[in-house]
Each structure stands twice: as structure tokens, then as C-alpha cells.
Structure 1
Amino acid sequence: MDRTYDVIVCGLGVMGSAACWQLARRGLTVLGLERFDIPHTLGSSHGRSRVIRKAYFEDPRYVPLLHRAYELWHELEAAAEQELFVRTGCLNLGPADHPCVRGILESVRQHRLPYEVMSADEVRRRFPAIRPAEHDIAVYEADAGFLRAEGCVRALADQARAAGAELRTNERVAGWNADDRRVAVRTDGGEHTARSLVLTAGPWLPVLAADLRLSLRVERQVPIWFRPLAPERFSVGRLPVFIHFLDDRAYYGIPDDGRSGVKIARHHGGATVDPETVDRTCTADDEADVRGYIRRHLPEADGPLLDATVCLYTNTPDRHFLIDRHPQQSNVLIAGGFSGHGFKFAPVVGSVLADLATAGRTDLPIDPFRIERLRIEAQVMS
């Protein structure tokens, strides 16, 4: 223990890497600790691509954060000199009275986002790969697409290092303690000290913040890549990113960029798991669920399975984020519970954490993400 840092960040997936970037570029001395490699395939920041969109069915209050996230992704692309954000548009499909479709329309109207509403027949004409249900409508957002997931994590980590952050991989955090002046983090490589601590451990957050008894649920998800029977209909430029809201479930898809096939997955509906023991193979049931959707709504995507991966969501009960101070330790910040829709926000989450670490406050709207609601829930459930 030969140095005291300004900040230690535990967990260097997309959120932790973004936090290191934002903290280091403000001149702080930063140590980032990652149990695995950067990136890796055991958490929540892999899978080649992630949807990015502003027409936000989850809540209109996310849209101002998305405006800033888009700006920061552009900054990162310029600094990294590589394409990370692939614009394809996003097609949101479902019955007009579906709560998520209504939520999308509320967001675009409240924030005056450009959008287009299509009938099922219009969707079939413009995007012949998709077979919507007869009662479906679609809300199309042009300023949307996908992020190259591993490329984003690498770029964030590289820029953090370039700004002066020290990032250590394959070093597991065993625990931490804090008082008002310092924190000490114990790892299998020794002990590190800092003035403040940021916990961005994804599905391992319930362990690192066990004292808070947060009501977080880790959920297994299985994105699958297929070789389409009509590849030209599923390529970037022909097919947008899409989200399809059915009566009792939702699926999403990301077009083929010529590298890996078309990606299709169910959003939520997975088993509750422990990240240490989760089955990381694609089972016959996993494939059957997605193929059942494909055969009804994307029949020309029903080709050979090219690849699959297991990804982990860390869900809060209301599926809104957790970004806040530890209630007993003001120099410990916690960000997690991104509930399967957080990746696109990573640079703005990093900026919020840097605001809180340096100024003690942020102008960005994070009131819905306070920790107390989750502690109350945990107490009720205990």
C-alpha cells in the first residue's frame, strides 16, 4: 500500500470504464479494479452490440440523459478514431394500446423528438423482413441504432488510461471499508486506499454492497445470432434495430453488419441466477424460445444458429437505475441495477459519478435513481 488515490472504481465493465474516463479527464488520480479482463464475457457489457435510442418507453425522464449520452459517445468516437455508434434507426412495434408503445409516444411528444408512426402494412412494405401482427403499429426513430459493445468498453478503458487512470485486471475485490476520510479496498493482490470509492460491479454489486441488502435480481439472458435465409433483407441499411412488444413479452433485433449475422433475443423473462454459478451455455429451450418468435415474425431469419452468449441483467424491482451515495458513507458511490437498458447511458453515468465525486452534486436528472427506494423494498421483502 504505497499510494492513496483520489478514487478507486470497482468493476470495469462499460459503466466502470466510463467512470474511470470521466474521473481521470477531470484530473483525479484513479485506480480501476477489474476481476476479469477488459472486456470480458462473464458480466453485462459484452455481446457485440447494444441498442441505443431516445424514444424511451421506460420513462420520459431518461431522455435528457440520453441527449448527453449521445454527445459523449460522439466525443469518445472522435478520441478513439473509430466507429462505435452505427445508425440504423429503431423500429418499435406493438399494439397501439400497449403500455410500452404509449410510453414511446409520450417520450417523443414530450421531448419533441422526430418520429414516424406506421401501420403494419407500411412496416411490411418498408421492411419486408418483418411480419408484424395485424393489430400492430410501429413508431420509427431515425436517430437510433446500435453500439459496438466490446469496442465501446475498450475505447472507454483506453481513454481512461490516456487520461492517467491506472486500470488493473484479473484482480478480484474481496471487500472494502470506509470512514469519512478514506476507503480501503481489499483484493487478492493486496490493499488499496483512496479518498472515495465507486462501485460499478454489475451482477456482483449485491455482494460488494451486501450491507445495504439491496433488492437486486440477477437475470440470465441469451442473445442469439442467426444466418438469415435472405441475408440482404437483414443487413445494416435494409433493416433497422427493432423492439417488438407482444402481449406478454418483448423481443429485439439488431441487423447484420457483415460480421456475425442478425442478433435476436428476448428482453427479460430469464431465470434468476447467481453470477458465480449461472449456466453460460445456450440451451435447447433458449433457442426454441427465440426461434418461435422468429418463425412468426421474421421467417427469413430462421437460418442456422451462428453463435450465442449468456449475458446478465441486474434488475431493480421497478427496473429504474440505481445511482446514488451509500447512505452511511458519503464518499462511496454506487451505480448499478441497470435492468437491461443501461449500456447506452454509460458515458453520462460516468459523468454523473464524476460530478458527485468532485462537486458533491450533479445537474443531470438522477432523482428517480435514489437508493432509498430499493432499501425499503428489501426491508419489506425480508
Structure 2
Amino acid sequence: MSSFEVAVIGLGAMGSAALFHLARRGVKAIGIEQFTPGHDRGSSHGESRAIRLGYFEHPSYVPLVRSAYENWREVEQLTGETVLTTTGIVEAGRPGSQLVAGSLEACLLHGLEHELLSPAEVRRRFPAIELPDDYSAMFQPQGGFVRADLANSLHLRLARQAGATILTNTKVAAVEPQREGVRIATGDGTIEAGRVVVSAGPWITELVPDLMRYITLNRMVLTWYEPKRPELFGLDRLPVFAIEDEDDLVYGFPDFAGTGLKCASHYSSGRLPRADAARQDAGPTDEARTRRFLERHLPEGAGRLKAMKTCIYTMTPDEDFVIDLLPSDPRIVVASPCSGHGFKFASVIGEILADLSTGGATRHDISRFRVSRFDGSGAGGSGQPALGARGEGG
């Protein structure tokens, strides 16, 4: 039986970052992953994830994403790799679009750099994008993308270099609180830890049944196309984009790796009964959805389909995160779900999870993400309001 100060279960975006932050502090930590890191069964795989400062979901996310930018840059300094690429981001939508209105509110509240653009100005600056004349649009120059697979592998490399133990292809069967710590049962034996971080993504309810009634699993599909005019879709001509139209909200990325124009709907293509039910089963109906969008808004991008992949959004009813000490046992830290918009925050969430699992609190305001919000108690939680915070978190 092995013994550790902290065990991290699940080494996707959040778990790999948490393990790095624990190890760099000299904590005796172990990370446990049921598959091989970089697998395509969950929510952390892929070449890219969008990042943006003005946050349409809620302005209170802005301080966290600012810290995430800082932490991603630190990973780059430590490794010499490029993790975060700034392209800017265009957000656009029909009149009354919450995407544009919410991002604008966050930018105004936090003094973030942004530009309001007419559809004609969008077409002039980014000729790949076609918008109806009555749409509104905003450009955030600091938007861009994080290289997802690379970021996860770098966090694990840094964690290992700092002394962390990493177990892969090891499934956790149970997390069992004991008087002196927490026992982790695996197929290969048991591990004892003083505290445990459960960052198991869509598998979290198998280990923390308390969360089961609050979580749904959404099947999502990503597509890659070969543009008809490739010169319009490189890093120098096309920013990251998100467009809310009549019946969908679709986002996408320039072709920066030779894999094609990537785009996907932010809306679900079906529910999954459990994480292990997910399959790489994208088909013609999934392609038709993104192709229809491209033909309307990026017509020169709607060329030959190059690839499709599925992933999972692990969702809460309010679409906010869950990051908290488990109310029934504060030695267990939960870090999921992230409701389909969490990856960009992984670098700072890893820091927060290290804080919670070693000291029980964090300097970052995570009051919005408490487990107790679901039952209406509003009690507990573990964040401390950031300086200058207002309302639910600044």
C-alpha cells in the first residue's frame, strides 16, 4: 500500500495542472489516470481550445481567466513551448445575441480591450467571415487558443520533473474516506492519501455519487474541413470565431496545424447515459450541421470534410463549474464538471485545486462554483473573494 499527501484522480486538463502545482510545492502527490494521457474518451483531448478575456457566460469569470493567461505563459517559460496563441476572437450574432451582449458587458465592466464591428467591417478585415447586415459583432484582440494536448502533456512533464508519481491505465474503483485519510481502491491495489482531488470529468459521478443528480453528459461533435480558399483560413487571416445565428452557436479556429478549418456547435447532439457509452461515431447528420453553418457564414471554408471527432460536455444545470471541497467530506476536492467551457481555465484551476487540497482555501474567488448552490443552502464552499470583487465574484 502506497501513501501520499494528495492523490489526483483523472489526468485530463484539470488533473494534470493540479498535479503540477502540487509537485512544484514539494507535496508528495500521485496522479492516477484510467487510460493513457491524451486519450479521446473524455473532454480534454484535441489540438485546440478557445481562450478569451471578455466572457459572455458571466463577468465574474474574468479575474480567473486573467490568471489563466498568466499561468499559461509561465508554462511556456518553463518549457520553451508555445501553448497559447493569440489570434483575436470575433464574436457575432443576430440582433439581441447574448453572445455579443454578454461579452460586451464583461469587457466594459473589467476595462478589457475590444472593438464593436459592423458586418461590413468584419468582411473587410476577415474576408472568410460572412455576416448578415443586421448582425452585431465584437472583436477581442487578446483572444486566441490553447494547444490542448500539448498543454496537458507539459503539465504532466513538469509534474514528473518536480517529483510527482504518475500511474496510467489504472482505473479507480472507489474513493473511501477513512479515519486517518482517504483510501483509493484500484484494480492493482489500494493507495492512501491525506486528501484527494477528483478531476475525473464525465466519470466523476462514479466516484462522487453525491453529484449524480446535478450532472448530465452531452455528446459533442468536432469537424475539420479543407477550405476552398486556404489562404483565407491561416493564422494571419482568420481569428478564432464564435457566431450565434438563428438556431445554433458555432465556434471555430483557423487552420494552424495543417489539419483544416475546425468548427463545432456549442449545443448538444444528444445525451449520454454514462461516460463509457461515448463512441467515436460522428456521421452524416453531424457533418450536415456544421456544413450548413459554414455555407451561411464561412462559405469558402465549406470544402471537403477532413475529419470528425466526438467529445463530452459534462454539464451542470446552470452551466457553471463545480470546484469545491465536498460538503460530506472536506478531504475530498471535486473539480468537475466544467460545462463545456473550462479548458482555458485549467492552468489556474490546477493552482486552485492545489490550494484546496493542501490548505482548504484559495485566494481565487470560486464562490460561484460551490456544490451547495444546487440544494439552495448557499453554505460552505472554499473560495475567498478576490480583491475588488462584487456580487458573485467580480
TM bucket normalised to smaller = over 0.9
2:380 corresponds in structure 1 to: none
Once the two structures are superposed, the pairs formed by residues 177-326 of structure 1 within 5 Å of their partners are 177-179=176-178, 181-273=180-272, 274-326=274-326
Aligned-partner Cα distance in 1 for 2:94–2:375: 35
The Cα offsets for residues 197-219 of structure 1, whole Å up to 9 and x where unpaired, read as 00000010121111443411111
SS of residue in 1 equivalent to 2:174: strand
Q: Say if 1:179 and 1:329, in contact at 8 Å, map to a contact too.
A: no
CA drift of 1:180 comes to: 5.0
Q: Say if 1:212 and 1:375, in contact at 8 Å, map to a contact too.
A: no
2:363 corresponds in structure 1 to: 363
2:21 is the counterpart of 1:22 = yes
Once the two structures are overlaid, the 10-residue window that deviates more, 360-369 or 94-103, is 94-103
Aligned-partner Cα distance in 2 for 1:235–1:325: 43
The Cα offsets for residues 165-211 of structure 1, whole Å up to 9 and x where unpaired, read as 11111000111111353000011111100000000000101211114
Once the two structures are superposed, the pairs formed by residues 1-382 of structure 1 within 5 Å of their partners are 1=1, 3-179=2-178, 181-273=180-272, 274-375=274-375
SS of residue in 2 equivalent to 1:222: strand
**Judging changes above 3 Å, is the alpha-carbon distance between structure 1 residues 88 and 10 closer, same or farther for their aligned structure 2 residues?**
same
CA drift of 1:126 comes to: 0.8
How many residue pairs end up in the alignment? 376
Instruction: Name the TM-score, length of structure 2 as normaliser.
Output: 0.93
Aligned-partner Cα distance in 2 for 1:4–1:45: 28
Aligned-partner Cα distance in 2 for 1:269–1:40: 21
SS of residue in 2 equivalent to 1:330: strand
Q: Say if 2:41 and 2:278, in contact at 8 Å, map to a contact too.
A: no
Aligned-partner Cα distance in 1 for 2:211–2:123: 50
Cα RMSD for the two superposed structures: 1.3
Q: Say if 1:37 and 1:170, in contact at 8 Å, map to a contact too.
A: yes
1:380 corresponds in structure 2 to: none
* Long gaps (5+) in structure 1: 378-382
Show structure 1 runs of 4+ deviating over 4 A.
none
The Cα offsets for residues 73-107 of structure 1, whole Å up to 9 and x where unpaired, read as 00101112111111110001113422221111110
Q: Say if 2:91 and 2:99, in contact at 8 Å, map to a contact too.
A: no
Aligned-partner Cα distance in 1 for 2:120–2:299: 17
Amino acid corresponding to residue 76 of structure 2 in structure 1: E
Amino acid corresponding to residue 264 of structure 1 in structure 2: C
Q: Percent identity?
A: 41
The Cα offsets for residues 322-359 of structure 1, whole Å up to 9 and x where unpaired, read as 00011111110001010110000001111111111222
Aligned-partner Cα distance in 1 for 2:196–2:279: 31
SS of residue in 2 equivalent to 1:150: helix
2:384 corresponds in structure 1 to: none
Aligned-partner Cα distance in 2 for 1:370–1:50: 25
Instruction: Name the TM-score, length of structure 1 as normaliser.
Output: 0.96
Aligned-partner Cα distance in 2 for 1:375–1:32: 31
2:388 corresponds in structure 1 to: none
SS of residue in 1 equivalent to 2:328: coil
Once the two structures are overlaid, the 10-residue window that deviates more, 207-216 or 142-151, is 207-216
Once the two structures are overlaid, the 10-residue window that deviates more, 150-159 or 275-284, is 275-284
SS of residue in 2 equivalent to 1:213: helix
Q: Say if 2:198 and 2:334, in contact at 8 Å, map to a contact too.
A: yes
SS of residue in 1 equivalent to 2:120: helix
Q: Say if 1:180 and 1:331, in contact at 8 Å, map to a contact too.
A: no
Amino acid corresponding to residue 309 of structure 1 in structure 2: K
Aligned-partner Cα distance in 2 for 1:103–1:58: 7
Once the two structures are overlaid, the 10-residue window that deviates more, 175-184 or 280-289, is 175-184
Amino acid corresponding to residue 270 of structure 2 in structure 1: A
Aligned-partner Cα distance in 1 for 2:261–2:179: 50
Aligned-partner Cα distance in 1 for 2:211–2:121: 50
**Judging changes above 3 Å, is the alpha-carbon distance between structure 1 residues 258 and 199 closer, same or farther for their aligned structure 2 residues?**
closer
SS of residue in 1 equivalent to 2:218: strand
Aligned-partner Cα distance in 2 for 1:169–1:252: 32
Aligned-partner Cα distance in 2 for 1:372–1:313: 21
Q: Say if 2:13 and 2:346, in contact at 8 Å, map to a contact too.
A: yes
Q: Say if 2:15 and 2:199, in contact at 8 Å, map to a contact too.
A: yes
Aligned-partner Cα distance in 2 for 1:125–1:263: 22
Aligned-partner Cα distance in 2 for 1:279–1:355: 35
Q: Say if 2:202 and 2:217, in contact at 8 Å, map to a contact too.
A: yes
